[in-house]
Structure 1
Amino acid sequence: MKLFLAAASLAVFPIAVLAEVVVTDPWARASILASRPGAAYLTLVSDMDDRLLSATTPAAGQVMMHASETDTNAITRMIHLDALDLRAGQTVRFAPGGMHLMLMGLTAKLEEGGQFPLTLSFEHAGDITVEVPILSVAFTAPEAN
């Protein structure tokens, strides 16, 4: 009887399994002109398999996920990603020269010392908003944790 009641309660009140994604080290370089795209970088770790579906910010008209690929002739090019799969426990770094979030149609120049909100939308974890500090145009990357 207890087993039946437990099964019945699960049917009425299903258990929600929510992923938690930890976002660390968000940053962007200051931009020289508002008419040029900017880029944002960060680190992601999910406690279960998830998928980054999109990103938005009021600082730009559009945010695009890009990866870099080097071909056999040592030519590197950007590749647009529609989504990014995250594996449980795997650290994914967005960094200069690699994956990045391209900020298209900046609403204003990215000024060193400023910041802007960035909302990341995940398939399971939902929306996560982080504040992205704007660092020097010459900044390369924070120290890895």
Structure 2
Amino acid sequence: MKPILTFLAALCLAAPVFAHGFTAGDLEIKHPHIPQPAASAKAAGGFMTITNNGTEPDRLIGIESTIAAKSEVHESKVDANGVGTMTHIDAIEIPPGGSVTLEHGGLHVMFMGLSAPLTEGDLHKATLIFEKAGRVEVEFSVDAPTGQGDGHDHSTMDHSSMEHSKMDHSGMAHGDHSAMAPVMTGDPLVDIEALLKAQLTRRKTR
């Protein structure tokens, strides 16, 4: 009898972890979370899985939060030449009967201009805005760092898909870092995005 009670108690304690999800009509938002970034980070990535149990598609068209000056949906990609890019996208379609996962190295939420350090165990409110389901209030949990760091915080990005050695440095002299020095923050997500934009700017001015 005692082992059964112990097992049931363990299930009760685990329930909040597995129950971290939200519903809005036919949509399920499962475990919205932010891997804890470095205390000095100016940006962080948000991840979750969105499932559409309905018969019509819906689209995630925006996100609002109080933890950052700006919150957007971004997508990381690597082209045929191994060059990584990260771009803001206007919407994510969730097909009927399907799921979309926001994860490292692909679709993700970017919280830019963090108002304060994020601490593991915290919950932060945000609003997901859908084309049909409307405004959905959720809470992002701050989870443990993913352990991808090498001195910087890499919890907000999968660098296997955007290594510095694979980035396109053509058109930028190796010793000329004046164009990117003003935008280097020490946060990998922000710095890589700024570097990519600097590359495009330099190409346009050549």
Question: What TM-score, normalized by structure 2, do the two folds share?
Answer: 0.56
Q: What residue number does 1:100 align with? A: 108
Q: Check if 1:36 corresponds to 2:42.
A: yes
> Segments of 4+ in structure 1 off by > 4 A?
none
Contact 1:64 1:102 in 2 (8 A): yes
Residue 98 of structure 1, CA deviation? 1.1
Q: What residue number does 1:118 align with? A: 126
Q: In the alignment, residue 107 of structure 1 is paired with which amino acid?
A: S
Q: Check if 1:72 corresponds to 2:80.
A: yes
Looking at structure 2, the residues matched to 60 and 70 of structure 1 have their Cα atoms a distance apart, in angstroms, of 27
CA RMSD of aligned residues (A): 2.0
Residue 25 of structure 1, CA deviation? 1.7
- Aligned pair count reads 124
Query: Which structure's residues are more often helix, by fraction?
Result: 2
- Which fold has the larger relative contact order, with Cα–Cα distance below 8 Å and residues 6 or more apart in sequence? 1
Contact 1:29 1:110 in 2 (8 A): no
Contact 2:77 2:105 in 1 (8 A): no
Q: In the alignment, residue 79 of structure 1 is paired with which amino acid?
A: T
Q: In the alignment, residue 93 of structure 1 is paired with which amino acid?
A: T
Q: What residue number does 1:27 align with? A: 33
| Distance change (3 Å), C-alpha of 1:70 and 1:57 | same
1:82 aligned counterpart, secondary structure:
coil
Q: In the alignment, residue 67 of structure 2 is paired with which amino acid?
A: A
Q: Check if 1:130 corresponds to 2:163.
A: no
Looking at structure 1, the residues matched to 46 and 40 of structure 2 have their Cα atoms a distance apart, in angstroms, of 15
Looking at structure 1, the residues matched to 76 and 91 of structure 2 have their Cα atoms a distance apart, in angstroms, of 15
Looking at structure 2, the residues matched to 101 and 138 of structure 1 have their Cα atoms a distance apart, in angstroms, of 16
Residue 20 of structure 1, CA deviation? 2.3
Question: What TM-score, normalized by structure 1, do the two folds share?
Answer: 0.78
Looking at structure 1, the residues matched to 108 and 68 of structure 2 have their Cα atoms a distance apart, in angstroms, of 15
Q: What residue number does 2:67 align with? A: 59
Q: What residue number does 2:200 align with? A: none
Residue 93 of structure 1, CA deviation? 0.2
Residue 105 of structure 1, CA deviation? 1.1
Write the deviation string for residues 52-108 of structure 1: whole angstroms up to 9, x where unpaired. Answer: 110011111111101122111122211210111221112100011111000011111
Q: In structure 2, list runs of 5 or more residues that go unmatched.
A: 1-23, 149-154, 156-206
Q: Check if 1:84 corresponds to 2:84.
A: no
Write the deviation string for residues 80-137 of structure 1: whole angstroms up to 9, x where unpaired. Answer: 1011122111210001111100001111111111110121000110111111110112
Write the deviation string for residues 33-67 of structure 1: whole angstroms up to 9, x where unpaired. Answer: 35521111000012221111100111111111011
Q: In the alignment, residue 120 of structure 2 is paired with which amino acid?
A: E
Q: In structure 1, list runs of 5 or more residues that go unmatched.
A: 1-17
Query: Which structure's residues are more often strand, by fraction?
Result: 1
